[in-house]
Amino acid sequence: MSISMYDASSPRFVSMLRSLDAILAKAEAHAAARKIDPAVLLAARLFPDMFAFTRQVQIACDHAKGAVARLAGVEVPKFEDTEQSFTDLHARIAKTIAFIESVSAAQLNGSEERDVTLKVGGQDMTFKGQAYLLGFAQPNFHFHVVTAYNILRHNGVEIGKRDYLGNP
């Protein structure tokens, strides 16, 4: 039995984005309970040369919406990177989920061999659809989601593997 491009992409991205949104809510509650300025968590990073928490969430959303758009052959929605609060990040995740859910299975299925070209580090990279999804888009998406999770966990937010996995 094979898995469709839709099944391998949209529901997986949406599930993890919902988990990320729930983790954000726990981070908000943690900050409020401990009287931590939310800006501290939003600016937190694991190492000085890594992106801060807010940027990790933005990039995770970008990879999810970008993958679905490119595979469907539609324009990638542009979101400005202006989020400065948990509320803003919740809204970005919601916009990303809404876009992903607006793309039908029919638009994604059959994209295994579609050429996908994007600029990475100023250079064009071209993939076939399935290789792009499985070897580039999903790994990058998960890297940024797990890094956001790790930043919060490192800063004392009481989250665990079940929070990360959510309800697959």
Which parts of 73-137 fold into alpha helices (H)?
86-102, 105-108, 129-132
Prediction pTM value: 0.95
Per-run averaged pLDDT (10 residues), the chain, 168 residues:
92 98 97 96 96 98 98 96 98 98 97 93 95 97 98 96 87
Question: Are 108 and 9 spatial neighbours (Cβ–Cβ below 8 Å)?
Answer: yes
Closest CA to 133 of 66, 56, 73, 77: 66
At 135-167, the pLDDT tens digits run 999 999 999 999 999 999 999 999 999 999 987
What the chain holds in terms of domains, given with CATH numbers, is 5-165 (1.20.120.450)
